[in-house]
A and B are shown apart, each in its own frame.
Chain A
């Protein structure tokens, strides 16, 4: 480890301290190196005697700082605001900095809480604003440009914005996160729209009228979702996965990653991926299923007790079907067409470069 590497690492590790303190420490270490060099010692030798940057930095921070993680969940909040939920019908959250959590609150108060472990300097560079206009509660959480490098280097993970929503709240939730991951659990809501640029989105136990989940660079995972309307899930670079899904209509799209639906409990499904595979397991059918992939494989598992007609089409891969069917074409461009029971739902599986398979569940 060279002097510069040691200093850089230390600088990152000491980021909880203010700039003045940090500089003082770094200057002292630089002086130490200079003195060491003057007596003929190498960078390696000096670094080894100083100890690992992690151990060195830890001595300047409160005890257990790096060992216990940053979060102060039940202790003092950095900022906090409460709103009575009676007059609120829509919650709109836009967060540019930390992790974003939506958790249930036991009473009828919407609580907005900021927790984490950052220094005053960083906290001063973050603006938070809660306002109510009409029946909409808006929470805006943004960072000054000067701390963007800190955010980009992962510093944002030290902040957690948690919105506690009453279990009785039946309104809409619109949330947008730039840097961090988003988590949501146990709600019964109206329209839900979650968007994240760099982070992942996770939703668990969600009952809603409609659901939109959109991520750019990371993955989406939804579990136990029941929507009376439309569910639309999109991921550009990551994968999309849903376990236990029931909706009137579901559209899942991934560009680079894979799409997976475990336990589709009915409704129309349109699942596609450009580069990844598409895999769906249905426990019952109550709508048409359309699955496509350009470069990956496509697989659907359905119970043989269901009634449906199917069309499996591949351009260069192979086509499989557990239910017989009539096969046409050869030299790659193959199609299998058939029907189970009295027919009903249409199943269409298509892949350009990969294989397509319709399997018995």
Chain B
């Protein structure tokens, strides 16, 4: 799959997961890699980018019997972003669906 495309989809996945609850890095990596084939190393740079762009922020929280974890949480801007990305994705999937099901709307 095209890298650029994959990155866009990955951003949508990460933001969607964070929309439901705050999560720490490893958790995000695990959940996503269970469903999509990705390099685990591609999630962290993306998280940093999302943070730089103001879509997510972070905070540290203790973990049970381990070192503190950095949790990622969605900002207001991030919430807007994820709903916009989801609409785009849905529209994209709909268009592809039309084509692969042999339809032609023109």
Asked if chains A and B come from one complex, the reply is yes
A interface list, Cβ under 8 A from B: 24-25, 27-29, 31-32, 34-36, 38, 46, 49-51, 55-56, 59-60
Give the residues in chain A near B67, CB-CB below 8 Å.
31, 34
Instruction: Count A/B pairs, Cβ under 8 Å.
Output: 51
**Which residues of chain A have C-beta atoms less than 8 A from B47's C-beta?**
28
Q: Out of B33, B39, B48, B69, which one reaches A25, CB within 8 Å?
A: B48
Interface on B for A, CB 8 Å cutoff?
A: 24-26, 29, 33, 39-42, 44-45, 47-48, 66-67, 69-70
Alpha-carbon distance between A167 and B6 when the two chains are bound, in angstroms:
54
Query: Is the CB–CB distance between B70 and A59 below 8 Å?
Result: no
A49 touches B40 (CB 8 A): yes
Residues of A within 8 A of B69 (CB): 31, 35
Q: Are A32 and B25 in contact (CB under 8 A)?
A: yes
- The answer to whether B41 and A49 have CB atoms under 8 Å apart is yes
Let me know if A34 and B39 touch, CB within 8 A. no
A51 CB contact (under 8 Å) in B24, B25, B33, B40:
B40
Q: Are A31 and B70 in contact (CB under 8 A)?
A: yes
**Interface SS of B by simple majority:** helix
How far does the alpha carbon of A34 sit from the alpha carbon of B26 in the complex, in Å? 9
Closest to B52 in A: A21
Name 13 interchain pairs, CB-CB below 8 A, sorted by A: A28-B47, A28-B70, A29-B44, A31-B26, A34-B67, A35-B66, A38-B66, A46-B40, A49-B33, A55-B41, A56-B44, A59-B42, A59-B45
CB–CB A50/B39 < 8 A = yes
Minimum Cβ distance to chain B for residue A346 (Å)? 69
Known A-B contacts: A31-B69, A34-B67. Give 18 more (CB < 8 A): A31-B26, A32-B29, A32-B40, A34-B66, A35-B26, A35-B66, A35-B69, A38-B66, A46-B40, A49-B33, A49-B39, A49-B41, A50-B40, A51-B40, A51-B41, A55-B41, A59-B41, A59-B45
Residue ID in chain A nearest B69 by CB atoms? A31
Nearest CB on A from B15, distance (A) = 18
Residues of A close to B45: CB separation below 8 A: 56, 59-60
- Min Cβ gap B51→A in Å is 9
**Which B residues lie within 8 Å of A38 (CB)?**
66
Query: In angstroms, how far is the closest chain A Cβ from the Cβ of B37?
Result: 11
